[in-house]
Amino acid sequence: MNAIERVAAFMHEHTLTLVTAESCTAGLIAATLADVPGAGALLDCAFVVYSPEAKCRCLGVSARTLARHNLTSEAVAREMALGASQKSPALVAISNTGVTDSIDSDIPAGTQCFAWVFKSGGADAAPAVYSETRRFSGSRNGIREASARYALVRLTEYFAELRQAPGRR
């Protein structure tokens, strides 16, 4: 069993469903999970939002956040994941935004920002939100593929961390 099959098995075991909000990965997070048989029970939907306008229009990312933090930032990734989570009944939202090359950017090539949102408790319960920035090397598509796999694998790690938090069993 490969890493993504283990993620899918974990999601089945914990009855987790997923919505993605993807920029740099352009749907690869959802597509990578969809490669596993039975993924239809795991995926709700995927938002591919490349432009700043789409991030605002489709996911409610604040123009102020974009101006203050840049497209490639954990702040934007967090708002993307929260926006996707609000628009979907899925229990987990993953977002990604980043750059694969440094053309016209001060941000190093391969920089990827992620966020994971976990709904727990009732409708009024605040979701748990995690975010991080990583840098990958390789070709444009290699960076995107590594980012998609990383996002899915980290889902299991953050969920386990969340389950171990006091008062979150």
Would you state the structure tokens that stand for residue 31, as one six-digit string? 């597509």
Run of H or E including 92: strand 92-98
**Residue 166: its pLDDT value, please?**
66
Question: What span, in angstroms and rounded, lies between the C-alpha atoms of 34 and 11?
Answer: 13
Question: What span, in angstroms and rounded, lies between the C-alpha atoms of 131 and 74?
Answer: 6
**Residue 169: its pLDDT value, please?**
44
Identify whether the C-beta of residue 51 lies closer than 8 Å to the C-beta of residue 32: no
pLDDT for 11-35, tens place per residue? 999 999 999 999 999 999 999 999 9
**Residue 121: its pLDDT value, please?**
66
Tokens 């969809």 map to which residue?
34
Would you state the structure tokens that stand for residue 39, as one six-digit string? 């993924």
Task: Pick out the chain residues at pLDDT < 50.
Answer: 169
Domains of the chain: 3-164 (3.90.950.20)
